[in-house]
Structure 1
């Protein structure tokens, strides 16, 4: 969903589009909007929307050289 380089470059307010949830029905991407980033840069909170509908808040954390998602 995110590369480590993308994760490191994100700032609060940035918005990125990722893959579609149901690609056979629609190619509409999931939109991640950065709402919070820790000072050390190891955790980012996103508000996630799909077709303009908020799906919730997702958290991505860097653990060593891997990204871990909490939905």
Structure 2
């Protein structure tokens, strides 16, 4: 009987463990030319590389324009 309890405890402790997920937030700002060297065309490759490097399960991007969204989808 003790063996049955042990199997039941092992089953429940191995089946319901928490899972880890990597979450990344990134504020990419706007695509404005007044940013000069920090404007989006100069940053897009580095942002894509950063996301690839960290391999998050979920990416939350703050202040995203439609064109930036399509470019990131293309790069990723």
Q: Rg larger in 1 or in 2?
A: 2
**Structure 2 length-normalised TM:** 0.23
Q: Which has the higher strand share?
A: 1
**Structure 1 length-normalised TM:** 0.24
Q: Which has the higher helix share?
A: 2
